[in-house]
Amino acid sequence: MKKKITIDLFRALVIAALEEKGYDVISDDTGYIHACPEEEGKPELLLAVISRCLSNGERRESPQVLASRTLVEKLKTKADSMAGDVMPCVAFGVARYSYFDCEVCVVPVMVWDELAETGGVYSKTAAGVFYNYQAAGELLPQDAVLRVSWGAKEY
């Protein structure tokens, strides 16, 4: 699986999921996605998309997806520079050995300050913050904005 296809796929899936959940979405060449809620009282979102494709079904790979500390800090800085109440979020995209079995989960960056724990859905190290899709099970993780899973059947 090619890296460019993977990131393009997950950017499109994040945009589709946000639009389905009632957000007007703007994606430009900055690399960020800006989502404005149609519903009053919800904050605007600024998202950076991280993608991971598990590539080898024959060996066990870590279910954690890393958003680097640098990426998170740049995302916070960009959100702080925008007018209004803008919540910085990381959108994690995971393909489980195939593009036909994937998910996206949008998580506000403040979650790691409040809920990070070793072995949990959210954890953090000096390298950055992690989302563990397996630890989340079949549920929407606590304080996540959305989590959507896609499956396709090959004929």
Side-chain half-sphere exposure of 23, counting CA atoms within 13 A: 23
pLDDT of residue 58: 64
Q: Cα–Cα distance between 20 and 33 in angstroms, integer?
A: 15
Is-contact 109 90, C-beta < 8 A? yes
**Average of per-residue pLDDT across 83-94:** 93
In the three-class reduction of DSSP (H, G, I as helix; E, B as strand; rest coil), residue 98 is classed as coil
Select 3-60+68-109+137-150's CATH number: 1.10.260.30, 1.10.1660.10, 1.20.1420.20, 3.40.1350.10.
Answer: 3.40.1350.10
**Average of per-residue pLDDT across 135-148:** 93
Side-chain half-sphere exposure of 54, counting CA atoms within 13 A: 21
pLDDT in tens, 45-85: 999 999 988 876 666 778 889 899 999 999 999 999 998 88
pLDDT of residue 41: 85
Q: Cα–Cα distance between 144 and 47 in angstroms, integer?
A: 13
pLDDT of residue 4 exceeding 80, the answer is no
pLDDT of residue 59: 65
pLDDT of residue 123: 94
Is-contact 49 11, C-beta < 8 A? yes
pLDDT of residue 57: 64
pLDDT of residue 28 exceeding 60, the answer is yes
Backbone angles phi, psi at 124, to 5 degrees: -145, 150
**Average of per-residue pLDDT across 126-139:** 92
pLDDT of residue 8 exceeding 80, the answer is yes
